[in-house]
C-alpha cells in the first residue's frame, strides 16, 4: 500500500470518528434534557410529599422546642421572683406549670402522636417480627407427670409408643402405654428435638418402677411366669428333671415345648421360686432312650418302555430284592409308655435291588398314531401273545359259533389290540359275552372282542390299528380265559380267518 492510499484511509477514518463523536454528544445531551424534563417534576412531587408527611412535623417540632425552651426560662424567672414574695404561691405555680405547658404547647403532643408514636410502633413491630420469625416451636412432652423433652409432632410419640410396646414383653397385659400424654406448644430455646428412639428410652426410664429385666418361661408358647435371671430359672428346671433320671434312660426333658425369653417384663408378672417349682412339678416329663434295630428296605419297581414288546405287554427283566439297614433311633416315653420314636440315623447293611419291568411300546404300523380312528381296510391278529385257536368259526354243540376263540392256557390278563382303526361303539358287560368291546371301522366292517377281564377304552373313543383296548379274561358265559373274536361284514358274521393273517 503506497502513501497516497494510506492517507486516504486515514482521512476516511477521521471523518467516521468525527461524525460518530458528534452524534454521540448530541444523543447524550438529548437524553439529559429528556431526563430533566421527566424526573424533575417527579422529584419535586416526591419532595413535597415527604415534606408534608414527615419533614413538616419535624420542623414544627423544632419550632415548638424553641418555644418550650424560651417559656421555660420565662417561667423559671417568674417563679423565682414570686418565691421571694410568697413561697406558697410559688409552689402552686410550680405544680401548675406542667399542665400549663401541655395546654400551651399541645402542638408538640400532636406532633409526637403523628410522628414519634407511629415510628416507635414500627420499630417495635420490626423487632417483634424478627424475634418470632427466628424462634423455633416444638411440643413439650410429659409422660405420667414426668417431663420427657421436646418433639417435632405427635407422630414422633406414636412411633416411640410402638417401640416401647415392642420392647416390653407384656406377658400378663398389665402394662399399657398412654394414648394421649400431656403435650403443649412451646418456644424451643436451648433444648434439642428428640427422635422416636430417644423418646422411647425416656418413657422406659419414667416407668422404671413398673418394669424389670427378667427371664420368662413359655410352655407351648403360653407365658407361665418370670424370674429375675435365666440362670435361676434353668437351675429350677434342672432340679425338677433330675428327679426323673435313671440308669435306664439316656435323657429327660419336659413333654411340652419350653422356652426361656429374656427381656423387660411388667413387675406384676414375676413369680417366686417356690411358685415356679410347684408349676414345673405339674408338667409331664418325658424320658429318652437310645435304641438300634435292623429293618427291611423294600425294593422299588421301575418301569421301562421298550419297542421290543407290543403295546400293553409287560415283562419282568429283573426281580426285586429287599435290602437291610440298621436304624439308630431315640424312643420317647411318658410315664414308662412309648409315645413315639425319632430316627437319628440309618446304616445300610445290604442295598435293595430294584424290580425292573419292561412295558411294550412297539407300534404295529408307522403310518398310524394312537387315537386317530383311521381304518386301513386290513386286519391284524388281535392277540399278539398267542396265535393258538381253541375254537373255530363253525358249528359247535348244535349251533353256529360265529367267531374264533384264541387261547393257549396262559392268556389270562394278556393285552388285546384293535384289529383295525375305528370308533368304539360299545364297551360294556353282557351276560353271554361278559366284558366286550365293539369297534365300527366305518367301511362296512365291525369287530367284537369278548370275555375281557378289563376294558381300556370307552364308547366314543377313536382307536388306531394295533392300539391296546382290553385284557383277556373269563367273564360272561365262558369256560376259561380266552378271546372271543368276531368279524362282522355289513351286519353278518363272517369267518375272521378269511380277513386276518394268522
DSSP secondary structure string for all residues of 314-382 = EEEEE--B-EEEEEEEEEEEETTEEEEEEEEEEEEEE--B-EEEEEEEE-S-TT--TT-----S-B--S
Opening angle at CA 341, ends 338 and 345, nearest 5: 150
Task: Point out which residues pair with 421 in neighbouring strands.
Answer: none
354 grid coordinates: 430294584
Least confident range of 57-66, 210-219, 298-307: 57-66
Nearest-CA neighbor of 341 among 324, 329, 352, 351? 329
Phi and psi dihedrals of 142, rounded to 5? -125, 135
Give tens-digit pLDDT for 346-366. Answer: 999 999 999 999 887 777 666
Q: How far apart are CA 240 and CA 255, in angstroms?
A: 13
Judge contact between 423 and 462, C-beta under 8 A: yes
pLDDT beyond 70 at 127: no
Confidence band, pLDDT 50/70/90 cuts, at residue 267: confident
Least confident range of 45-54, 151-160, 336-345: 45-54
Least confident range of 59-73, 293-307, 310-324: 59-73
Per the model's pLDDT, the better-predicted residue between 391 and 10 turns out to be 391
Give tens-digit pLDDT for 428-465. Answer: 999 999 999 999 999 999 999 999 999 999 999 999 99
Q: How far apart are CA 284 and CA 79, in angstroms?
A: 116
pLDDT beyond 90 at 298: yes
Q: Residue 420 CB: number of other CB atoms within 10 A? A: 27
What is the per-residue pLDDT for 333?
83
pLDDT beyond 80 at 170: yes
Stretch 139-149: mean pLDDT = 83
Per the model's pLDDT, the better-predicted residue between 221 and 47 turns out to be 221
Per the model's pLDDT, the better-predicted residue between 221 and 436 turns out to be 436
What is the per-residue pLDDT for 383?
93
Q: How far apart are CA 109 and CA 115, in angstroms?
A: 10
Per the model's pLDDT, the better-predicted residue between 96 and 447 turns out to be 447
Instruction: Return the percentage of the chain with pLDDT > 70, whole number.
Output: 80
DSSP conformational letter for 208 = G
Whole-angstrom CA distances from 482 to 323, 360, 388, 394, 468 are 39, 21, 10, 17, 16
Starting at the edge strand found earlier in the chain, the sheet holding 285-297 runs 251-254, 285-297, 323-334, 337-350
Give tens-digit pLDDT for 455-473. Answer: 999 999 999 998 889 999 9
Phi and psi dihedrals of 229, rounded to 5? -135, 160
pLDDT beyond 60 at 177: yes
What is the per-residue pLDDT for 349?
94
302 grid coordinates: 421301575
Q: How far is CA 2 from the centre of its chain?
A: 94
pLDDT beyond 70 at 114: no
Stretch 476-494: mean pLDDT = 95
Confidence band, pLDDT 50/70/90 cuts, at residue 75: low
Judge contact between 325 and 347, C-beta under 8 A: yes
What is the per-residue pLDDT for 194?
84
Whole-angstrom CA distances from 476 to 174, 265, 316, 395, 431 are 81, 81, 30, 20, 5
What is the per-residue pLDDT for 345?
93
pLDDT beyond 70 at 98: no
Least confident range of 26-30, 190-194, 290-294, 374-378: 190-194
What is the per-residue pLDDT for 60?
66
The mean predicted confidence, pLDDT, of the chain is 83
Contacts made by residues 146-153, CB under 8 angstroms, sequence distance 24+: 146/206, 148/194, 148/199, 148/202, 148/203, 148/206, 149/191, 149/194, 149/198, 149/199, 149/202, 150/186, 150/188, 150/191, 150/192, 150/193, 150/194, 151/183, 151/193, 151/194, 151/199, 152/193
Confidence band, pLDDT 50/70/90 cuts, at residue 255: confident
What is the per-residue pLDDT for 28?
81
Amino acid at each position: 500500500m503506497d502513501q497516497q492510499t494510506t492517507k486516504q484511509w486515514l482521512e476516511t477514518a477521521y471523518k467516521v470518528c468525527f461524525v460518530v463523536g458528534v452524534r454521540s454528544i448530541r444523543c447524550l445531551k438529548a437524553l439529559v434534557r429528556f431526563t430533566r424534563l421527566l424526573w424533575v417534576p417527579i422529584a419535586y412531587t416526591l419532595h413535597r410529599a415527604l415534606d408534608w408527611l414527615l419533614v413538616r412535623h419535624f420542623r414544627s417540632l423544632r419550632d415548638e422546642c424553641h418555644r418550650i425552651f424560651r417559656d421555660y426560662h420565662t417561667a423559671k424567672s417568674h417563679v423565682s421572683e414570686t418565691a421571694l414574695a410568697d413561697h406558697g404561691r410559688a409552689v402552686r405555680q410550680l405544680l401548675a406549670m406542667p399542665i400549663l405547658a401541655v395546654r400551651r404547647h399541645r402542638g408538640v403532643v400532636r406532633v409526637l402522636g403523628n410522628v414519634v408514636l407511629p415510628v416507635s410502633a414500627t420499630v417495635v413491630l420490626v423487632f417483634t417480627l424478627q424475634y418470632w420469625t427466628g424462634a423455633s416451636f416444638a411440643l413439650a412432652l410429659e409422660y405420667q407427670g414426668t417431663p420427657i423433652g421436646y418433639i417435632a409432632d405427635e407422630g414422633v410419640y406414636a412411633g416411640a409408643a410402638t417401640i416401647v410396646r415392642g420392647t416390653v414383653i407384656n406377658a400378663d397385659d398389665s402394662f399399657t402405654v398412654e394414648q394421649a400424654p400431656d403435650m403443649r406448644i412451646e418456644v424451643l430455646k436451648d433444648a434439642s428435638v428428640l427422635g422416636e428412639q430417644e423418646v422411647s428410652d425416656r418413657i422406659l426410664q419414667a416407668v422404671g418402677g413398673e418394669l424389670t429385666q427378667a427371664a420368662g418361661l413359655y410352655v407351648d408358647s403360653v407365658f407361665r411366669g418370670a424370674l429375675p435371671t435365666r440362670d435361676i430359672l434353668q437351675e429350677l428346671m434342672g432340679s425338677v428333671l433330675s428327679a426323673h433320671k435313671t440308669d435306664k434312660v439316656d435323657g429327660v426333658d419336659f413333654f411340652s415345648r419350653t422356652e426361656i425369653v429374656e427381656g423387660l417384663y411388667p413387675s406384676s408378672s414375676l413369680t417366686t421360686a417356690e411358685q415356679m417349682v410347684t408349676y414345673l412339678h405339674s408338667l409331664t416329663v418325658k424320658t429318652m432312650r437310645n435304641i438300634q434295630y435292623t429293618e427291611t428296605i423294600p425294593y422299588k419297581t421301575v418301569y421301562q418302555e421298550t419297542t421290543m414288546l407290543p403295546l400293553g405287554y409287560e415283562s419282568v427283566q429283573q426281580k426285586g430284592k429287599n435290602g437291610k439297614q440298621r436304624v439308630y433311633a431315640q424312643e420317647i416315653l411318658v410315664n414308662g409308655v412309648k409315645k413315639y420314636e425319632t430316627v437319628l440315623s440309618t446304616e445300610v447293611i445290604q442295598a435293595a435291588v430294584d424290580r425292573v419291568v419292561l412295558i411294550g411300546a412297539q407300534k404295529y404300523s408307522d403310518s398310524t398314531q394312537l387315537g386317530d380312528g383311521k381304518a386301513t381296510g386290513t386286519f391284524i391278529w388281535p392277540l399278539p401273545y398267542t396265535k393258538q385257536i381253541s375254537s373255530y368259526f363253525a358249528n359247535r354243540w348244535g349251533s353256529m359259533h360265529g367267531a374264533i376263540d384264541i387261547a393257549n392256557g396262559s392268556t389270562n390278563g394278556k393285552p388285546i389290540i384293535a384289529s383295525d382303526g375305528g370308533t368304539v361303539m360299545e364297551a360294556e358287560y353282557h351276560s353271554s359275552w361278559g366284558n366286550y368291546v365293539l369297534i365300527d371301522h366305518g367301511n362296512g366292517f365291525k369287530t367284537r372282542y369278548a370275555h375281557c377281564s378289563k376294558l381300556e377304552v370307552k364308547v366314543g373313543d377313536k382307536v388306531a390299528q394295533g392300539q391296546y383296548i382290553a385284557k383277556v379274561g373269563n367273564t360272561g358265559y365262558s369256560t376259561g380265559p380266552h378271546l372271543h373274536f368276531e368279524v362282522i361284514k355289513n351286519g353278518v358274521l363272517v369267518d375272521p380267518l378269511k380277513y386276518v393273517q394268522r
